[in-house]
Structure 1
Amino acid sequence: MRMKNQGTGRAGLLLGAAGLLAACTVGPRYQPDRMAIPARFAEDGHAATPAEIARTTAEMKDWWHRFGDAELDRLVDRAIAGNYDLRIAGQRILAERALRDAQASAWYPQIDAGTVAGDSRYSINIDNWPIRPGNPANRPEASYLSYGVSASWQLDVFGRIRRSVEAQERAVEETVEDRRAVLMTMLSELAGDYMVLRDTQLRLQIAERNIRVAQDARDLAQRLYQQGVGTTLQVAQAQSELETQIAAREPLRTHIAQITHALDVLMGQMPGTSAAALEQPGPLPRVPDFPATVPSVVLANRPDIRRAERAYAEATARIGVAVAQLYPNFSIPLSFNPNASAMYQLFETGALSWQFFMMASLPLMHGGKLTAQVRAAQAAAEASRLAYRRTVLQAFREVEDAMAAWHDDVEHTEWLHRAALDSALASDRARRLYSAGLVGFLDVLTTERTALAAENAEAVARLERLQDAVALYTAIGAGWQGVPLTASALPVSLETQHALARAFQQ
């Protein structure tokens, strides 16, 4: 009965000690900054219903599918698999995780083994040279053999190691959010470039049509001149207009080639690889439905907001690391080093040599350095909190701006479409009237240039509407939810480089 009580008392003592150690973690505990956000966006036309929010949440995982373009979907898949910025960001996550593991290793005993063997010679030309123990002849030469183990264990009584590991874990989470931000930026850039490619190809088709119209106008001016109705001035004007239209076509071809090169680099391949696949003009992607959302979705999905929040958590943990420096430090050093001059003596009792201590150190006077480090950590944490709030404000501004642009695009594009139709009709009528001799050639040039400008303006407006749709999806933090972190591995296996790695964690 007494032995049972003793065992129960020992267990209770161990549990109590463990609880005491856990309770001794110094420094502030992290509390998320509760920033007040509006219930709805100012630029949103109506309050989103739960069904609309659920639809948007599902669409956020692969928002590029909403544009209904199979070629864009193919490019996105290839970019996710091959983009180098994304792969670099994945390696940074691995690096931060390794640093986290390095910090956590301080919790465990640090053990090293070693051995030494060799010969040494001492000078005998010194007066009163003492007789060395174990060598009564005082020979100057001696053999030395030794082996041993040294160990140290840092007792994390006040949580310095725990706070360091916590801070490094938050740093890992920051790199995860960094990779998500890289992914979103890449998707936005890829989709934007693809929209520009299709728009430029459309404008190139417009330019080709305008060249044919200018050729017809030149031929008409020459025919009327030959019939004695026209003048050489009209022929020269028509020829100049044709050459101007031909010249305007070449920059568009250059731009198409450059955009194709940019898309190849985003996909992690040599520029020009996709030229054959993308050189064929395709229709502009369709504009998706407006994504209904609420402000809380932005807080939950924007990687920059999530990263800023993790940075604040890391900075808070760093305060605990600085505060722990003010408290006593406990450690247990241990060494075991037998030594002798002959191999058969090395394992005898007389050759044994060992040390075992319980060490404690208390900071007494450092000229205010330790308290200054605490103040610096506190200021850094407050700066991180303020940076989080600034990031939230900037994110909401981007969402509001993207919503405003999306809504304004609809009416803007519709008016430009009407203007393009009316300008084309006016140009056709001007050519008919000119062929009948009812208007001058200057009227033909004016209406043709107006029609060209209106058609190009409509194409640019349609591009802007597509780009604003991409910007809104990016602003609300869409795109990373359906893409898992890539499984990266070191190019060199540690197990093949270190024989003991198969038995111990180094």
Structure 2
Amino acid sequence: MRGLLFATSALALAACVAGPPPEVATQAPALPDAFVYAPDASDAVGLVALLPVGDAGFDVLAQQALASSPTLAEAAARIEQARAGADRAGAERLPTIGANASVTGTRTSPSQFSSTLPPGISFDTERVSYAANLTARWDLDVFGRLKAQQRAALARVDAADASARGVRIALLSEIAASVIDWRTLEAREAEIRNDLAAAEDLARLAGVRERAGIAPGFDRVRAESSAATSRSRLSALSSERARLVGRLVTLTAQTAAQVQAVLAKETGTLDLPAAPATLPSTLLVNRPDVLAAAATLAAADAELAATARKRFPVFDLSGALGLLAFGIGDLFDSQSVVGSLAGSIAAPLLDFGRIQAEIDGAAAGKSAAFESYRGAVYTALGDAEAGYGLVAAADSEALAAAEEASSLQRAARLANTRYEAGLADFLTVLEARRAADASGERAAAALGRARRARVLLWQALGGSELNPSGE
């Protein structure tokens, strides 16, 4: 009865500081019904088709990066770290069992009892005891504090997993963009070489007419200056190429020679797939940053609940079962068996605001996590809108640039034909050639931007599964 009275009194006193955790409003963000820049209708194209998966260079580099990228390895280690924390939180809910053994020697001075002892009374001044014990302790977690901590740890695992997926998507998108830039450089180089060949032919023709005395030498000089301009543009591509190789070395953890060897592989012409139609709500389940923010919010909510439960009593059971003997031969005698069993309750009575301060901090952490989640949602919406808009604008630019290049090249050929027939002067030919110069390069660059825009849209929509073989 005395024990029951003590427990009831402790619970009554604990009720003075106990109570539910504070409410933190976390309403779901309002999402639009559709994307403004998304296409009205779309072919049934998969999200992965937005990547240059048919490019041999991208397929190999993506496979190498997924296998050996230090960034991905670090993200995987973060997941393992979070899982270890979750395992520890789960183990805290189980009993703790231990064992110990000891040998203790004691020497007592007879003078501490008096100078003389009654007749027939004596004791050993030296004694050796032998003990072996099996101990156990268990926090019953009546109010669910440990369970809430475990829930928070599991949510941290989900957040780490989503973050790792985000790293993977960012890595693949960077590789895809770099490979597209490399192929765009190759196309630009081919167009510049065509411009250079046309300018050199024009300079050669002007030289022939100069030596024949039917054209001034100034015509040849102007044609050669046009060829020199093309050579300068061609040389400028080297710095861009070196930058791309360095970037791919960082992304794939391969040497520059290996990267160049992979990029040298021939690849077919890549199409421009239509942008797949999707809904804003799909971002909540596809975007890794949104999933990570949602998991972090769940962890903050569980941590707030665990912190609030510190105001409730803690019930502990503990026990020990062992052997105690004063002679090594008596250690396993039945009379040497000893044991104990105890139950305890501990509750905060007056902590002068310590627990409340922790609860306020956890509530503020949950509010911050919710605002971070809202920010991730609207960032995803903005990225998707921008991605759709960039695809539409880049496609229009690529089409216009291709038509411009075709028209200017045709005009240059007609002017050259008329010049050879004596129906146009050299200045007309030179102006037509200068107008046509770089038009093909601009068209190639515009096409590269259109392909790059699709990679940005793929990343904005949350990416898609891409196995290590690049498929």
TM-score, normalised to structure 2's length? 0.83
One-letter code aligned to 2:349: L
Could you tell me how far apart the structure 2 residues matched to 1:29 and 1:483 are?
43
Cα contact 1:260–1:278 (8 A) shared by 2: no
Shift of 1:291: 0.5
Alignment check: 8 A CA contact 2:55 2:270 kept: yes
1:214 and 2:208 aligned:
no
Query: Is contact 2:108-2:125 (8 Å) kept?
Result: no
Question: Cα RMSD between the aligned structures?
Answer: 3.4
One of 75, 90, 96 as aligned partner of 1:110 = 96
Q: Counterpart of 2:29?
A: 35
Q: Structure 1 residues 195 and 175, CA, compared in 2 at 3 Å: closer, same or farther?
A: same
1:416 to 2:401 alignment: yes
Cα displacement (A) at 1:267: 3.7
Corresponding letter in the other structure for 1:39: D
Alignment of 1:113-132 (within 5 A): 113-117=99-103, 128=112
Check whether the contact 2:57–2:265 (CA below 8 A) recurs between aligned residues.
no
Shift in alpha-carbon separation, 1:65–1:459, aligned structure 2, 3 A? closer
Q: Of 283, 305, 314, which residue of structure 2 is paired with 1:329? A: 314
Give the C-alpha shift of residue 70 in structure 1.
5.3
1:319: Cα distance to partner? 1.0
CA deviation after TM superposition for structure 1 residue 164, in Å: 0.3
Which region of structure 1 is more displaced relative to structure 2, 155-164 or 219-228?
A: 219-228
Amino acid at match of 1:303: P
**Contact 2:319–2:341, Cα closer than 8 Å, also in 1:** yes
Residues 176-221 of structure 1, C-alpha deviation per residue, up to 9 Å, x if partnerless? 1112211221221122112111111111111222222232233223
**Deviation at residue 316 of structure 1 after TM alignment:** 0.8
After superposition, residues 71-470 of structure 1 pair within 5 angstroms as 71-117=57-103, 128=112, 136-139=123-126, 143=128, 145-263=130-248, 265-280=250-265, 282-336=267-321, 338-340=323-325, 342-348=327-333, 351-432=336-417, 443-470=428-455
Q: Distance in 2 between matches of 1:466 and 1:208?
A: 23
1:449 maps to a residue whose letter is: R
Of residues 379-388 and 446-455 in structure 1, the stretch that sits farther from structure 2 once superposed is 446-455
Q: Deviations over 1:279-298 (max 9, x none)?
A: 25645521002201122222
CA distance in 2, matches of 1:388, 1:242: 56
Contact in 2 for aligned 1:198/1:284 (Cα 8 Å): no
1:42/1:349 CA distance change after superposition, 3 Å: same
Kindly tell me: are residues 65 and 408 of structure 1, through their superposed partners in 2, closer, same or farther at Cα, counting changes over 3 Å? closer
TM-superposed CA distance for 1:123, in Å, is 9.2
Whole-angstrom CA distance in 2 between matches of 1:344 and 1:415: 100
Aligned-partner Cα distance in 2 for 1:352–1:288: 80
1:445 to 1:144, Cα distance in 2 relative to 1, 3 A: farther
Do the aligned residues in 2 keep the contact of 1:152 with 1:334 (CA within 8 Å)? yes
Query: What do residues 125-181 of structure 1 show as CA deviations (whole Å, max 9, x unaligned)?
Result: x963899xx993525xx6554322222111100100110010111111111111221
CA–CA separation in structure 2 for the residues paired with 1:172 and 1:330: 29
Where 1:272 maps in the other structure, the secondary structure is helix
Distance change >3 Å, CA 460–CA 137, structure 1 → 2: same
Identity %: 24
Q: Classify 1:393/1:169 alpha carbon distance in 2 versus 1 (closer, same or farther; 3 Å).
A: same
User: Could you tell me how far apart the structure 1 residues matched to 2:229 and 2:326 are?
Assistant: 98
Question: Which piece of structure 1 moves more, 321-330 or 369-378?
Answer: 369-378
Q: Distance in 1 between matches of 2:432 and 2:306?
A: 74
Partner amino acid, structure 1, of 2:144 = G
Counterparts of 2:103 and 2:84 in 1: how far apart (Å)?
Answer: 36
Structure 2: gaps spanning 5 or more residues: 1-17, 116-120
Output the CA distance in 1 between the equivalents of 2:263 and 2:273: 23
Q: Distance in 2 between matches of 1:235 and 1:130?
A: 129
Please give the alpha-carbon distance, in whole angstroms, between the structure 1 residues aligned to 2:243 and 2:19: 57
**Could you tell me whether the CA contact under 8 Å between 2:24 and 2:363 is conserved in 1?**
no
Cα contact 2:191–2:438 (8 A) shared by 1: no
Return closer, same or farther for 1:304/1:283 CA change in 2, 3 Å cut-off: same
Native 8 Å contact 2:195 2:438 kept in 1: no
> Distance in 2 between the 1:202 and 1:129 partners?
105
Secondary structure of 1:37 counterpart? coil
Q: Which residue of 2 aligns with 1:479?
A: 464
The 1:146–1:448 alpha-carbon spacing in structure 2 relative to 1, beyond 3 Å, is: farther
User: C-alpha separation between the residues in 2 aligned to 1:286 and 1:135?
Assistant: 104
2:138 counterpart SS class:
strand
Tell whether the 8 Å contact from 1:100 to 1:169 is kept in structure 2 after alignment: yes
Does the CA-based 8 Å contact 2:180-2:452 persist in structure 1? yes
Name 1:8's counterpart in structure 2.
none
- Cα 1:28/1:227, change in 2 over 3 Å: same
1:322 CA displacement: 0.7
Q: Which residue of 2 aligns with 1:494?
A: none
Q: Distance in 1 between matches of 2:170 and 2:199?
A: 42
Q: Which residue type is aligned with residue 175 of structure 1?
A: A
Q: Distance in 1 between matches of 2:207 and 2:217?
A: 8
Range with greater deviation from structure 2 (345-354 or 173-182): 345-354
Shift of the 292–128 alpha-carbon distance from structure 1 to 2, 3 Å rule, reads same
Write the letter of the residue equivalent to 2:137.
Answer: S
SS at the partner of 2:131?
Answer: strand
User: Bigger relative contact order, structure 1 or 2, given CA contacts below 8 A and separation 6+?
Assistant: 2
The size of the alignment, in residue pairs, is: 446
Whether contact under 8 Å (2:79, 2:161) holds in the other structure is yes
CA–CA distance in structure 1, aligned partners of residues 467 and 312 of structure 2: 45
Q: Which amino acid aligns with 2:72?
A: L
